[in-house]
Amino acid sequence: MAKLDPELLTLLRSVDTPTVCNAIEVAQCKRGFSKFTRGTMICSDPEGGSIVGFAKTAKIAALDPPTENQDIIKERRMNYYRYMSEVDGPMVTVIEDVDYPDCIGAYWGEINTKVHKGFGLSGTLTNGVMRDLGDLAEAFPVVAGSVGPSHGFVHVREIDTPVNIFGMTVAPGDLIHADRHGAVVIPSEVIPILKDSIHKLFASERLILDPAEKTEFSFDDFQKAWEDFEKSRT
DSSP 33: -
Residue 15 domain-assigned? no
| pLDDT, average across residues 85-114 | 97
| pLDDT, average across residues 6-13 | 97
pLDDT above 90 for 231: no
Quote the crossing angle between the two packed helices 219-232 and 191-212, to the nearest 10°: 170
State the number of CA atoms in the 13 A half-sphere of 231 facing the CB. 7
How many percent of the chain have pLDDT more than 90?
92
Q: The domain containing residue 116 runs over which residues?
A: 34-186
Structural domain count, the chain: 1
Residue 28 domain-assigned? no
Q: Give exposure, 128-157, as e/b (b: 16+ Cβ within 10 Å).
A: bbbbbeeebbeebbbbbbbebeebbebbbb
Residue 73 domain-assigned? yes
132 annotated ligand-binding residue: yes
Position 215 confidence tier, pLDDT thresholds 50, 70, 90: confident
Q: For 148-152, 153-157, 228-232, which range has the lowest pLDDT when averaged over its residues?
A: 228-232
pTM comes to: 0.94
Q: Which CATH number does the domain housing residue 144 bear? A: 3.50.30.40
pLDDT above 70 for 46: yes
DSSP 1: -
pLDDT above 60 for 234: no
pLDDT (0 to 100) of residue 174 = 98
Residue 84 domain-assigned? yes
pLDDT (0 to 100) of residue 232 = 80
| 85, 119 Cβ separation under 8 angstroms | yes
The SS3 assignment for 78 reads helix
38 annotated ligand-binding residue: no
Alpha-carbon distances, residue 129 vs 84, 102, 106, 186, 221 (angstroms)? 19, 10, 4, 24, 48
The CA-based dihedral angle spanning residues 165, 167, 173, 177, taken in that order and rounded to the nearest 10 degrees: -80
CA–CA distance, 35 with 228 (Å, rounded to integer): 29
Residue 136 domain-assigned? yes
Residue 143 domain-assigned? yes
Residue 195 domain-assigned? no
Give me the amino acid identity at 15.
V
Residue 56 domain-assigned? yes
